[in-house]
Amino acid sequence: MKLLTSTIFSAIQPFLSLLLPRSFPVLLVLLAFAPTLLPLASAQLDKYAKLAGLSYFGTAVDNPRLYNEQYMSVLQGSGEFGSLTPINAQKWKKTEEVQGVFTFAEADAIANTAKAGVGGMKTLRCHTMVWYKGLPSWVETTYSRDDMEKILAAHIQNLAQYFKGRCYAWDVVNEAIDENGVFRQSPMYKAMGLDFITFSFKTAAKADPGAKLYYNDYALESPSLSPGPKISITLAMLRTVKAQGGTVHGVGFQSHLKVGLVPARAEIVNTMQQFLEVVDEVAITELDIRHSPLKVPSTREMWNAQARDYGEVVGACLDVNKGYGGRKCVGVTLWDFTDKYSWVPSEIPTEGEACMWDNNYVKKPAYWTVLNMFKAYAAGASRRRAGMDGVEGGNGTVSELDLEAVAHRGPEGLPGLGREQTTMTVVATTLATARRVRSTARPGA
């Protein structure tokens, strides 16, 4: 790395003195483009996600992991994750297994971890109030509408009030509609029909008016992911809930996806925009992209394909914000960050390796794809603030969205290029930048 950096600087320095006005510091150009062109030793996903315009980059966590020292060193590493989501600790069976008896010890452990993070206090995304699974046995029975309203009210009020002020957002209702666009026959739906969703959001809004309230589901990213009209039915449901007085701030796109079957980035953007016509914000809430079927041993080609797919999903979130000129896709949450604790193998034994870190906590190409995408967006924002919207090169314009050269780069250089070729690529881009600055500099500056 030191040799590569030294070579780049040595190659560029003679040209910069000719191309730039003497009063313009050479270091400004080098520093402006360092985030996208030179990988840093300490990679920090949340730090660069925020510089790229997101509110957070986070991960979900379950309680057994809190006792794994190696896991915790990554979880609380400086700048890697800025948000935590409890995977199970806030679900109904964990918090009210016996009717009217509430236990929050496991949820508190994760909330306290977020509060006391070595890398700084982390946002807490709370998950989930009402779900058709994870129910205690006493809920799995037949109730009248009035009885179910009382059950929902007691559960939601106790959850929301106990964690009031600690949750940035709540997934109020989770997965109410199946792949075919049909409402799941949960005990809540059987007792109240669609009204259980409106009732849940109204109750949550009264109990914690400061939290963002989300509907959270999978297969919302594209019509291609479900055999039925799930997206249109979900949009219609949200419009109905809001028309009936329910407060729904956001929609969570779970994004449990398969390598090679991830929708195109523009397609995900289009779907997110449809939901933003109904709600204020969206987020990627449970991201993992699994190999299906899983081939052992893994190959570099498998990891690179996975990296491209991670780039499509995270890039869509960034593109949405650019299209709106503000933060509308607010953040990204991984559904745990290491294959060691992925949910996939236990539920789908023929699939797996869905996370950005492997079983041994080694970062995969997907990690570098996402990190370098954040850096590219962050550098683009910095250039826009400085009045430099693009960089003219020999073949057109290199803008903040021209990510092909950096998207899959790991710590050793650009993909498919040797170290010398990588050096020359960086040199060429920096020289193009210098020419741009020279041509736009004020006379006598």
Which CATH number goes with the domain that contains 365?
3.20.20.80
In the 3-class helix/strand/coil scheme, how is 293-331 assigned residue by residue?
CCCCCCCHHHHHHHHHHHHHHHHHHHHHHHHHCCCCEEE
Instruction: Evaluate whether residue 132 is within a structural domain.
Output: yes
Instruction: Evaluate whether residue 206 is within a structural domain.
Output: yes
Per-residue model confidence as pLDDT tens digits over 359-391 = 999 999 999 999 999 999 998 876 766 654 433
pTM > 0.85: no
Q: What are phi and psi of 110, to 5 degrees?
A: -75, -40
Domain count, the chain: 1
Residues recognised as catalytic: 175, 286
* pLDDT score of 293: 95
Tell the residue number behind the tokens 């057109």, with chain if given: 396
Using pLDDT thresholds of 50, 70 and 90, give the confidence band for residue 79.
confident
- Can you tell me whether residue 173 is helix, strand or coil? strand
Instruction: Evaluate whether residue 430 is within a structural domain.
Output: no
Across the range 46-57, mean pLDDT stands at: 96
Query: Is the pLDDT at 407 greater than 60, yes or no?
Result: no
**For the stretch 262-301, what's the b/e string if a residue is b when 16 or more beta carbons lie within 10 angstroms of its beta carbon?**
bbebebbbebbbbbbebbebbbbbbbbbbbbebeeebeee
CA atoms within 13 A on the CB side of 180: 3
Lowest mean pLDDT among 1-10, 131-140, 212-221, 241-250: 1-10
Q: What are phi and psi of 214, to 5 degrees?
A: -120, 145
Amino acid letter for position 380: G
Domain that holds residue 177: 43-381
Cα 39–Cα 43–Cα 44 angle in degrees, nearest 5: 130
Query: Is the pLDDT at 28 greater than 70, yes or no?
Result: no
Instruction: Evaluate whether residue 18 is within a structural domain.
Output: no
Structure tokens at 77: 């590493």
Instruction: Evaluate whether residue 423 is within a structural domain.
Output: no
